Amino acid sequence: MTWSQWFIFFLIIQVIHGLGTWKLYIKAGKQAWEAFVPVYNAVILMKIINRPWWWTILLFLPIVNLIMFIVVWVETARSFGKNTHLDTALAVLTLGFYNYYLNYVADVSYIENRSLQPKSGSGEWTSSILFAIVAATIVHTYFIQPFTIPSSSLEKSLLVGDFLFVSKFHYGARVPNTTVAAPMVHDTIPILQKKSYLFDDHKDSKSWKNLLQLPYLRIPGFEKIERNDIVVFNQPADTLLDMNNFHPDRNYYKPIDKKTNLVKRCVGVAGDTLEVRDGFVYINGKKNELPDRAHLQFSYFVQPKTSQFNPKYLKDRYDITDGFGIINNQNTYYFSAISDEALAKFKNNPNVVSITPNIKEKGERDPSIFPHDPNYNWNIDQFGPLYIPEEGKSIAITVDNLPLYKRAITEYEGNTLSVNGNQILINGEVANSYTFKQNYYWMMGDNRHNSIDARAWGFVPFSHVVGKPVFIWMSWDGSSPRWKRFFTTVSGTGKATSFLIPFLVLIAAYFGFSQWRKRKKAE
């Protein structure tokens, strides 16, 4: 729904609430009109049920409010003496319409100073769990989200098995588009392996479920995405059918906030002109300089003296961690990723005869590479030049460059576009230029030959940005912990320092101080 439609829906809900509770407001010593005034009625209701005013805020936070509505329905019934399990069940199962029965049929009285303590152990547990979920959902949605590195695209900077904390507030927390979803999970409910949100994912669906989506909205952040930042974002071309199908026309069905989360390095920001030469990124004609913690990796063909390399030995000796294997009958190995540091050592291995870089030639077209158009002979190593759109900036649109920007204009900015001969029509009108509504970014992996990134799907709009990884709180290599990576920062210069020991010391000091205070109070 649009914001106007949501506003009308909001007013309808206020009328429904007022009609179902105005007599209850009177019995609680309030005025009938107070049940109908938007937002104010919620503040008054919090007073009636003896709950803090700030609960009103929770009623307007997507996902969180699904829990708070249930709590408020039950609390309202209990404020008028309806405390049985049946009353609780009716309040929940009727989606709050049990209030109509209390308002018009039941003979109830307001209990002004009722006890807010749960009357049973199970009730206390339920209350604690609900509010723990509420608090965790708020933190997860608007402040910090945990994230696990699933692939080696940023290997050496971020390793497979790193567990991160991703800041939502650096670039500005995004208000969830999906209003009805399970809290603290992404697109799938663990164990059940069922979709976690209410939405019809079929293309061009007109289902009522899809009307529950909020328009894009982001809370202002305090930092802009800078070149070479590591960023978590929703994959723009994600689809339930095949997330690696990067055809430039519409091929995804998920809401933005439920698309697959990825982490890459932003090598190009809005307004940059980007080019890839022999696998290296050039920005505005100059070679991009990566931070000292970044380590580019490329693939190589290796000719050995024998036919065997030991994976464990290569990992321990040279830090070669990505896969490799024989590719033909000539005893040639293909190594999918080797860093410059590893290459300098590995080429002196007595089992190595020769090492040849796997770099594609300029002009050799790869159809899997953006923009998937036969007029662009680009590949993974030779790409561009390409202008990255900037909010408020206009570019000339022609039939020749349309493949580069069609997806941004239509999918990410919501316009209709058609071509009639040499004429381009945007929203039914002939267009020779286009002004972009948001910033776009170019996300790539440091693992240049073993990373599915923007070279496959194109620009990443700011609407798809999730947050900034700031901290590695745990790391696991698949069989054992990487202790040196526990409690290390993601950004910064020089070798990352682990803060695990200081953290454990602080925890021990806190518990020691708590025990000391308890003993002092007991004396």
* CA atoms in the 13 A half-sphere facing the CB of 406: 19
At 250, list the tokens: 């519409």
Side chain identity, residue 44:
I
At 145, list the tokens: 């989200």
CA distances from 257 to 67, 68, 177, 419, 438 (A): 20, 22, 6, 31, 17
Side chain identity, residue 99:
N
Whose CA is closest to 61, among 147, 133, 123, 116? 133
* CA atoms in the 13 A half-sphere facing the CB of 483: 1
Whether the CA torsion 36, 37, 38, 39 is positive or negative: it is: negative
Phi–psi pair at 441, nearest 5 degrees = -140, 160
Catalytic annotation present for 151: no
Distance (Å, rounded) from C-alpha 274 to C-alpha 388? 7
Q: Give every CB contact of residue 193 below 8 A, 6+ residues apart in sequence.
A: none
Catalytic-role residue among 264, 360, 406, 468: 264
Catalytic-role residue among 30, 79, 82, 153: 153
At 140, list the tokens: 């997860």
Asked whether 235 and 457 are in contact (CB, 8 A), the reply is: yes
CA distances from 479 to 62, 161, 244, 321 (A): 39, 10, 29, 14
Catalytic annotation present for 264: yes
Whose CA is closest to 456, among 446, 468, 442, 470? 442
Sheet containing 333-339: which strands, arranged edge to edge? 324-326, 333-339, 297-304, 352-357
Phi–psi pair at 230, nearest 5 degrees = -85, 130
At 438, list the tokens: 């948001």
Distance (Å, rounded) from C-alpha 486 to C-alpha 499? 7
Distance (Å, rounded) from C-alpha 334 to C-alpha 337? 9
**Catalytic machinery residues:** 153, 264
